[in-house]
Amino acid sequence: MKKTIKNKIINDPIYGIITLKKGIILELINNPLFQRLRRISQLGLSYLVYPGAHHTRFHHAIGAMHLMQNSINEIKNKGHIITKEEEESLLIAILLHDIGHGPFSHALENSLVKVSHEKLSVIMMEELNYQFSGKLTLSIEIFKNLYSKRFLHQLVSSQLDMDRLDYLRRDSFYTGVTEGNIGTERIIKMFDVVNDNLVVEEKGIYSIEKFLIARRLMYWQVYLHKTVISFEYTLIKILQRARYLVQQNIKIYSSKSIIKFLNKDFTIDDIQENKNMIHEFGEIDDHDIYFCIKEWVKERDYILSSLSKRIILRKPLKIIISENKIEKQFVEKIKKETQKKLKINKEELEYLVFTHSVSNKTYTHNENKINIITKDGVIKDIAESSDQFDVKTLTKIVNKHFICFP
Amino acid sequence: MKKTIKNKIINDPIYGIITLKKGIILELINNPLFQRLRRISQLGLSYLVYPGAHHTRFHHAIGAMHLMQNSINEIKNKGHIITKEEEESLLIAILLHDIGHGPFSHALENSLVKVSHEKLSVIMMEELNYQFSGKLTLSIEIFKNLYSKRFLHQLVSSQLDMDRLDYLRRDSFYTGVTEGNIGTERIIKMFDVVNDNLVVEEKGIYSIEKFLIARRLMYWQVYLHKTVISFEYTLIKILQRARYLVQQNIKIYSSKSIIKFLNKDFTIDDIQENKNMIHEFGEIDDHDIYFCIKEWVKERDYILSSLSKRIILRKPLKIIISENKIEKQFVEKIKKETQKKLKINKEELEYLVFTHSVSNKTYTHNENKINIITKDGVIKDIAESSDQFDVKTLTKIVNKHFICFP
Amino acid sequence: MKKTIKNKIINDPIYGIITLKKGIILELINNPLFQRLRRISQLGLSYLVYPGAHHTRFHHAIGAMHLMQNSINEIKNKGHIITKEEEESLLIAILLHDIGHGPFSHALENSLVKVSHEKLSVIMMEELNYQFSGKLTLSIEIFKNLYSKRFLHQLVSSQLDMDRLDYLRRDSFYTGVTEGNIGTERIIKMFDVVNDNLVVEEKGIYSIEKFLIARRLMYWQVYLHKTVISFEYTLIKILQRARYLVQQNIKIYSSKSIIKFLNKDFTIDDIQENKNMIHEFGEIDDHDIYFCIKEWVKERDYILSSLSKRIILRKPLKIIISENKIEKQFVEKIKKETQKKLKINKEELEYLVFTHSVSNKTYTHNENKINIITKDGVIKDIAESSDQFDVKTLTKIVNKHFICFP
Amino acid sequence: MKKTIKNKIINDPIYGIITLKKGIILELINNPLFQRLRRISQLGLSYLVYPGAHHTRFHHAIGAMHLMQNSINEIKNKGHIITKEEEESLLIAILLHDIGHGPFSHALENSLVKVSHEKLSVIMMEELNYQFSGKLTLSIEIFKNLYSKRFLHQLVSSQLDMDRLDYLRRDSFYTGVTEGNIGTERIIKMFDVVNDNLVVEEKGIYSIEKFLIARRLMYWQVYLHKTVISFEYTLIKILQRARYLVQQNIKIYSSKSIIKFLNKDFTIDDIQENKNMIHEFGEIDDHDIYFCIKEWVKERDYILSSLSKRIILRKPLKIIISENKIEKQFVEKIKKETQKKLKINKEELEYLVFTHSVSNKTYTHNENKINIITKDGVIKDIAESSDQFDVKTLTKIVNKHFICFP
């Protein structure tokens, strides 16, 4: 009988033990749309550079929920009211915040369908709300920032949300890039709420600076690592080529689950109009893509097979990164040499030699800025509060340009 | 120019930074037969219980090689001779010790082909030896224990080999079962060689005891966790059912890579006679199996589809574990109830209700026993050396019997 | 205003952040009798072998209180009642459980005064109860096992109490003997209460085994490390010699705080009769002893100065450890040689050549045994529950005999 | 016999196991001047805020030597020559770099004697060189930057030396301020030497940024934590007061070891002229100071006893920190109130109410700047190399002003 109130616990290498609350939380976790996140890697192809990075969106979502619970406890301890219903809705909102991710997470975002993962998350949350008879309504409101208590949304989505607190720490842990580690526990202990805004106590200022710098470090050392970029753009090119061949009626291997998405470029409207679509999209995970790529290695089309081999045998395209735009002349030279060597046409060349840019902004002055509260109760933007460490420079967008070629 | 002597380094969350030596080591790592290990999970389906456990055979092999390098350095520092050639061969032997593993590692061992992973490792090592013009000959001799210096083999395969030192620590790390963590560094510092035997200095005795108890703990808490067993036997049953259907000419989905292995039960002779076979086996990894299972969810055969769903949706068969054999009467009762409820025939029942046993022996008195050297130079088996901790009880085989059912 | 409900937080390298509750808890921590624990090392002279081991009784007490809070939360979550008053009393009881420790903790126990630290703790708790107008009455009852709810006492003092959970982990952490690390978090998550007994859920059995083996390992590797023993017995001999000289009216340096305790061997009755005594004892900490030893290095008495030098210059007496009693003949031989070489008399010889024994029992079958509760609700002693790991052998007392000599 | 080549190993909670090389290294460690570092805390009174921070100069010196060995190995692997003699001298130089520290390290620097710890280190190294018959000559040359190979000195003393690499990591570890943790291993792996300058490979740039920011964080969060400042200035005032009383011939308790240093303000000339002085200074450690302070608690002089109580009972003077100079008017107001309340004279007031400032510069453009080498072989100052993170702002000196009062 006592057993009936028992929650489930799971082991997390980072936080130790995480409690999964009985009831709707556990039911959502057991839902097929959520279980599929077990088969979607958090960091796409980063494991080809950091062999430990095989953790999943599933694990990240559970971890972020754990941090949310800690934050809720802290804020309540500081004397603020969060109702039972709000608490549960917060846990659900963060649990499902990434549910719209498709295979390889960001690496293939906007590639399989032309829709961002956030929008897909909302659609899936609405589908789950339907399945759960409206019990997710408040969660969705909080997620969309439509709920009156604004700080609840900030816990789910802001520059200091549970998403970031978990992913930075988790990605740091699994890649072994220990410098990216952040003191989530200390940051959470410094949380407070003032005027319906999530704020950080002044003595936490160094932890926030550390958090920003760790985030920046993870961007350049992991997320935008040049070999990772090379592989992820290769993956995108593979899907583009497959789509091209399919649409040209050139027969290539394709699983039933994926062929539909190669045949047509779906938009958000397509998905919203046809409820089946979201389930069909939800059936695709990393394994489907890997399986196709492994098959495509053996295809006759040189572009498709040679790019696929690069993933499977870990042979990255060369990549040159520069702070300036890659000079046109240089690009032309590379293209000419490649075309000559491989005897391919101009159109095929676009899959093997291409330029692009990536960018990162560590901190943004916007309405979701990070607020520091001083001992005197004054609230300041972190970018104004730091004495020495120039947070302002972190608001600068850094662009890096690159060219990939065989 | 100086650059030409540079080795490659990779990040490991456990040991920090691992150096990959230029030359044959790096070439072997880049070989397709080795790169495939990136797509073979170390712990099969354990991630369904421990969500962090997505690490791969690739990572384990690299980690074990790192420990081998440390052990070689230590033993050389203690004044023993290991030649340059022996050193390289040791590193290769441990790097390749698990190369014969197929998808899901142990979970599907003897299932896809009726051959142990050790034998497959030897066959693959011989294939690589052919590709590398005989440069692996000494490695293979050491691996097979045919080389004159016996302690070299003990570093590769014994009760205290680099394999165990790495996998216990790595599996402990990724599952978050911190109690399984072992002090690899301290154990290695205690290594010495006496009469061509790897021995451990007496003051390392507690570390060895701890290692044995950690190993035992990992067995029952992770490797033989009851829900993991339930899932892994479900996986085996899925493949049996698929094979049965294929051999009955009932059409089910099957990828080209796998169909061959479902059609026929290959033995070691088949593989040794036909060199292609090992490459065909080498093309199969976790993704192929997952892809098939995902397709099989939609098959018309109830057994195949319902078992496949259990994996994909994480719905384990119930499992009861007992120290005694499951009573026949009880098994019959369960079978009768299941048959009645699901309306399936007797033959189908075998896939859904089954008994089996698992066993574990923490320590074995055999020629590869763990030797302790006392300060006076006397060598003793650890099972004789410990004053209080009764290692002898650890030599007992523990059997656990179980029954699975829907 | 909100500020007034704020607790204090401190950083702990092991648990992260520890909350110190406002009110009586914080007041007790600020009491001089508690603050003195900052100047009493947890592990006596172990830092002469493990240079990291400078942590204090203060830190241990705070850590144990933190674990107590977690255990209370867990037990309450499992549906058991612990009242507000009981909760506070439990926190106080564990906070003060070691308050009676004198300089160097166990190393000088029964040496400065002939009273165990537990008895001194009770006397100090009673003194604090007087200062705090009786608010500690329930804590003292729980501590002495006089309170009706027996499991509360078990959390404070049993084979699985917060004291052990913290000190094993903390000592392991600061010495760097990582094998001694235990999964406190997991053990606490497995706590339950049945029939007023603290029990551990069956699935926690491996963690308990691990805890026992870690404890054993820490005993022989750290607490009873032979060089540590040599230093700690040297310290005892120094105090004996100082006392002898003082009582013989031979003038040696002595601080006012210590001279009283050298002049007379105080018993528990002396201390209970005279309330001042406990405060006088409470003024002595590690610094007083170190300061005297440093002065004694320069004394004319050869025994006192040579032993003192051994501590200050880290020159341990030689020590031979054996599982059997040291043979009389051997002892005599050593004594004769030493006497001849150093030209000292028989009485002096006893300070430089001496035998003794240390013992350790990892687990005890007694009323405070560790109880495991099976899924069926049956309660068993851990020594009966383990299938393979023979806990019974751990109940054996292991004695080690030693001889120290210059 | 083989035993004769065995080194000693010790456990370090941070790096695992550290090897102490037989020969001069081990002999220096066993020298009384080095052993005294076991009784000198690394972080002075910081443990009153961070209870884990009881680590010693001894431990730091050993840790820095360990990192030096790793750096030497790395640089040699990169193809640069470091001779056997240079290697040993580097290890010695870093082992002894802090040997001149007196009790409480920086907290009492320039207080007991008016000489910096670096100068005292040189004097002690010269004394040891005399004891070791000139074997430390090269070490001293490297330490003083008089040796031809300049990069050797940079390993001992620069903005990226072994001293900083160890103390940041160690202080972070023991305080539990995990955000201060730095990836020493990764930084060392990026070391190279170009034109006799220690440089860092370009891909290590984020680790260096992280190192700088961690250093800054540790300064403000630990080293210059306001309560720590309050206690450390209290300590300085205690010694000033004691000196004043002694020089006024007012009798207070004083140990033989300290009285000499209270009687007179020694300068570097005094110490260099009289070799005994350095040994007398070398006999004073934390215990002497603590012992005196404990005695002073009971002195009749109100200033001395009330300040001493603040340390022993952990009652910090109030402290207000400001980015601007404390306004004169405000200081006067505080002084007036205090004087009135405590009925003390003006001169006494200076010990209880005082202002001062602390400053920190995270990075300095000077000849020991941190050099980054790009892939093209160009060398740049880190302050010029970082794209986004504005290292230049870190070169700004940050001053903080404070006032302490009862």
The answer, for B189 touching chain D at a CB cutoff of 8 Å, is yes
- Beta carbons of B2 and D186 less than 8 Å apart: no
Q: What is the ipTM of this complex?
A: 0.93
Q: How many domains does chain D contain in total?
A: 1
What's residue D323's pLDDT? 86
* Of B82-86, C86-90, D114-118, the least confident: D114-118
The answer, for B178 touching chain C at a CB cutoff of 8 Å, is yes
**Which of A186, A192, A199, A206 to mutate: most C Cβ within 10 Å?**
A186
Residue D200 is assigned to a structural domain of this protein: yes
- Residue C109's CATH number: 1.10.3210.10
- Beta carbons of C38 and D59 less than 8 Å apart: no
Strands B197-201 and B371-373: parallel
- Beta carbons of B176 and A30 less than 8 Å apart: no
Phi, psi of A37 (to 5 degrees): -65, -20
Q: Which of D16, D79, D186 sits opposite B2 (nearest CB)?
A: D79
Reported as a pLDDT band with limits 50, 70 and 90, residue A2 is: very low
What's residue D17's pLDDT? 87
The yes-or-no verdict on residue C338 having pLDDT over 90 is yes
Residue C307 is assigned to a structural domain of this protein: no
Query: Longest C-alpha distance within chain C, in Å?
Result: 76
Residue C336 is assigned to a structural domain of this protein: no
Residue C177 is assigned to a structural domain of this protein: yes
Q: Which residue has the higher pLDDT, D318 or D370?
A: D318
Q: Please give the share of chain C, as a percent, with pLDDT higher than 70.
A: 95
Contacts of A221 in chain D (CB under 8 A): 206
What DSSP designation does D221 have?
I
Contacts of D394 in chain A (CB under 8 A): 388-389
Reported as a pLDDT band with limits 50, 70 and 90, residue A3 is: very low
Please name the residue of chain A whose CA is at the shortest distance from the CA of residue B257. Answer: A295
What's residue D391's pLDDT? 65
Contacts of B286 in chain A (CB under 8 A): 287
**Which of C22, C78, C184, C202 to mutate: most A Cβ within 10 Å?**
C78
pLDDT tens figures, C170-198: 999 999 987 777 788 889 999 999 999 99
Which amino acid is it at A96? L
Contacts of C220 in chain B (CB under 8 A): 206
What's residue A1's pLDDT? 34
**Which of C210, C226, C391 to mutate: most B Cβ within 10 Å?**
C210
Phi, psi of D196 (to 5 degrees): 60, 25
Please name the residue of chain C whose CA is at the shortest distance from the CA of residue B184. Answer: C179
Q: Which residues contact D308 (CB under 8 A, 6 or more apart)?
A: D238, D293, D294, D296, D297, D299
Q: Which residue has the higher pLDDT, A383 or C61?
A: C61
Mean pLDDT computed over every residue of chain D: 91
Residue B55 is assigned to a structural domain of this protein: yes
- Beta carbons of C2 and A185 less than 8 Å apart: no
The answer, for B63 touching chain C at a CB cutoff of 8 Å, is no
What's residue C246's pLDDT? 95
pLDDT tens figures, A342-365: 999 999 999 999 999 988 777 766
CB pairs below 8 Å between A and C: how many?
A: 20
Which amino acid is it at B349? L
* Of B152-156, B395-399, D89-93, D318-322, the least confident: B395-399
Q: Which residue has the higher pLDDT, D390 or A85?
A: A85
Mean pLDDT of A165-173: 95
Reported as a pLDDT band with limits 50, 70 and 90, residue C399 is: confident
- Beta carbons of A17 and C79 less than 8 Å apart: no
* Of B160-174, C88-102, D154-168, D254-268, the least confident: D254-268
Q: Which of D11, D54, D177 sits opposite C176 (nearest CB)?
A: D11
* Distance separating alpha carbons of residues A205 and A183, to the nearest angstrom: 12
- Beta carbons of C78 and A185 less than 8 Å apart: no
3-state secondary structure B248-303: CCCCCCCCHHHHHHHHCCCCHHHHHHCHHHHHHHHCCCHHHHHHHHHHHCCCCCHH
Mean pLDDT computed over every residue of chain C: 91
- Beta carbons of D59 and C52 less than 8 Å apart: yes
Mean pLDDT of C23-44: 97
Q: Please give the share of chain D, as a percent, with pLDDT higher than 70.
A: 95
The yes-or-no verdict on residue C121 having pLDDT over 90 is yes
> Taking the mean position of all CA atoms in its chain, how far away is CA C392?
25
The answer, for A23 touching chain B at a CB cutoff of 8 Å, is no
Classify D356 in phi/psi space as left (phi over 0), alpha (psi -120 to 50) or beta.
Answer: beta
Contacts of B295 in chain A (CB under 8 A): 255-256
Reported as a pLDDT band with limits 50, 70 and 90, residue D386 is: low
Task: Give the N- to C-terminal CA distance of chain D in Å, as an integer.
Answer: 65
What's residue B2's pLDDT? 43
The answer, for D185 touching chain B at a CB cutoff of 8 Å, is yes
Q: Which of C210, C216, C387 sits opposite B179 (nearest CB)?
A: C210
The answer, for D21 touching chain B at a CB cutoff of 8 Å, is no
What's residue B309's pLDDT? 97
Q: Which of A35, A56, A312 sits opposite B54 (nearest CB)?
A: A56
Please name the residue of chain A whose CA is at the shortest distance from the CA of residue B33. Answer: A313
CB pairs below 8 Å between C and D: how many?
A: 103
* Distance separating alpha carbons of residues A174 and B266, to the nearest angstrom: 38
This model's pTM is above 0.90: no
Q: Which of C56, C176, C283 sits opposite D54 (nearest CB)?
A: C56
The answer, for A1 touching chain C at a CB cutoff of 8 Å, is no
Q: What is the CA radius of gyration of chain B?
A: 23
Please name the residue of chain C whose CA is at the shortest distance from the CA of residue A186. Answer: C17
Which chains share 3+ C-beta pairs under 8 angstroms with B? A, C, D
CB pairs below 8 Å between B and C: how many?
A: 74
Mean pLDDT of C65-74: 96
Mean pLDDT of C35-64: 97
**Which of D22, D71, D189 to mutate: most B Cβ within 10 Å?**
D189
Please name the residue of chain D whose CA is at the shortest distance from the CA of residue B375. Answer: D3
The answer, for A185 touching chain C at a CB cutoff of 8 Å, is yes
The yes-or-no verdict on residue C388 having pLDDT over 60 is no
Please name the residue of chain D whose CA is at the shortest distance from the CA of residue A217. Answer: D206
- Beta carbons of C287 and D294 less than 8 Å apart: yes
- Give, for B10, the enclosing helix (H) or strand (E): strand B8-12
The answer, for D23 touching chain C at a CB cutoff of 8 Å, is no
Number of helices (H), then strands (E), belonging to chain B: the values are 20, 9
Q: Which residue has the higher pLDDT, D186 or D342?
A: D342
* Distance separating alpha carbons of residues A77 and C17, to the nearest angstrom: 15
Domain extent, residue D166, equals 2-221+360-405
Phi, psi of D15 (to 5 degrees): -95, 0
pLDDT tens figures, C208-251: 888 888 888 888 889 999 999 999 999 999 999 999 999 999 99
What's residue B390's pLDDT? 61
- Beta carbons of A78 and C2 less than 8 Å apart: yes
- Burial code of C69-94, b = ≥16 C-beta within 10 A, e = fewer? bbbbebbeebebebeeebbbbbbbbb
Q: In this structure, what is the dihedral angle of CA atoms C208, C213, C215, C216, given to the nearest 10 degrees?
A: 150
- Beta carbons of A79 and C17 less than 8 Å apart: no
Strands A371-373 and A197-201: parallel
What's residue D392's pLDDT? 66
- Burial code of A31-51, b = ≥16 C-beta within 10 A, e = fewer? bebbbbbbbbbbbbbbbbbbb
Contacts of C59 in chain D (CB under 8 A): 51-52
Please name the residue of chain A whose CA is at the shortest distance from the CA of residue C9. Answer: A189
pLDDT tens figures, A243-289: 999 999 999 998 888 999 999 889 999 998 888 899 999 999 999 99
* Distance separating alpha carbons of residues D366 and D370, to the nearest angstrom: 9
Residue D93 distance to chain C (closest CA, Å): 21
Q: pLDDT per position in chain B (406 positions), as tens? A: 344 456 898 999 999 889 999 999 999 999 999 999 999 999 999 999 999 999 999 999 999 999 999 999 999 989 999 999 999 999 999 999 999 999 999 888 888 888 899 999 999 999 999 999 999 999 999 999 999 999 999 999 999 999 999 999 999 999 998 777 778 888 999 999 999 999 999 888 888 888 888 888 888 889 999 999 999 999 999 999 999 999 999 999 988 889 999 998 899 999 988 888 999 999 999 999 999 999 999 999 999 999 999 999 999 999 999 989 999 999 999 999 999 999 999 999 999 999 999 887 767 666 568 888 887 888 888 877 766 556 666 677 788 999 999 9
- Beta carbons of D17 and B189 less than 8 Å apart: yes
